[in-house]
Amino acid sequence: MIILNRNWLNNKSMKEVALIDLGLIAYEEGWAIQERLFNETIQTKIELRNNSLSLGATTENYLIFCEHPHVYTLGKTGSEDHLLLNEKELKEKNATYHRINRGGDITYHGPGQIVGYPIFDLDHFFTDIGKYLRYIEDVIILTLSDFGITAGRIKGATGVWLDPESDTLARKICAIGVRTSRWVTMHGFALNVNPNLDYFGNIVPCGISDKSVTSMQVELGKEIPLDEVKNRIKMHFEQLFKIRLLPQSI
């Protein structure tokens, strides 16, 4: 069970994190924004270490929300065999494909899915990647609980699952894959709210062939407003990471 400190609202010393909502954006554009903020943060850390910045300077933290047009992305440890489409078939499905620099295998992003990219300097939080991944899973588990969906984890399989204890019923609802350097994070999570799940049939999702994929829409039998889900995700990020999210344009 996840227990939250309900006094978080009264904590005036919480770290401020920029909240950037990009809306629907091509994958390569969103990736470029991530890379820029990620590299700027790392460069700032290097300059701070070298004492080349003024006293009081620090790194910034960001949480990016977006949706992407149909796209398949393959992580550094993934197999291209897990993409079941050739170039012609990708075009027919109006989808693109990118090999990228996060961990994990292949996944799908598309309209109706909330994608979140935390660009956090973990020196501001805790320098533990495993804990960081579990916190992101907790954010999603708590969010799903707010909508009446019970979710959990499968040992050795990063992400959020429904019926995780069942070999036959377990199904993934949120994929997670990150990259870190100098304790700075990028990439993140993709929560299936109302996506077209048929697109997952063109891959071996996350390299796991014996488990299915689901969405909030399928589980609840109705379309769920994305903004309602985002608001709950924001709240749980603030609670768990003890931050205050401030909207910012880019």
Q: Strands 152-154 and 106-109: what pairing?
A: unpaired
**Does the pLDDT value for residue 8 go beyond 50?**
no
pLDDT score of 229: 98
**Does the pLDDT value for residue 207 go beyond 90?**
no
CATH superfamily, region 15-247? Bira Bifunctional Protein; Domain 2 (3.30.930.10)
For residues 8-23, average pLDDT: 79
DSSP state of 144: H
Q: Where are the domains of the chain?
A: 15-247
| Rg value, the chain, Cα | 18
pLDDT score of 9: 44
Average pLDDT for the chain: 92
pLDDT in tens, 108-137: 999 999 999 999 999 999 999 999 999 999
Q: How far is it, in rounded angstroms, from Cα 199 to Cα 196? A: 6
pLDDT score of 116: 98
Catalytic hit among 206, 216, 229, 240: 206
Q: What is the dihedral of CA 141, 151, 167, 109, to 10 degrees?
A: -60
CA 167 distance to own-chain centroid: 25
**Does the pLDDT value for residue 1 go beyond 60?**
no
Q: Indicate the angle between helix axes 226-241 and 129-146, nearest 10 degrees.
A: 140
Highest mean pLDDT among 4-18, 39-53, 72-86, 169-183: 169-183
Known catalytic residue at 206: yes
pLDDT in tens, 220-246: 999 999 999 999 999 999 999 999 999
Q: To the nearest whole percent, how much of the chain has pLDDT over 70?
A: 92
Contact (Cβ atoms closer than 8 angstroms) between residue 171 and residue 197: no
Q: How far is it, in rounded angstroms, from Cα 76 to Cα 71? A: 16
pLDDT in tens, 160-201: 999 999 989 999 999 999 999 999 999 999 999 999 999 999
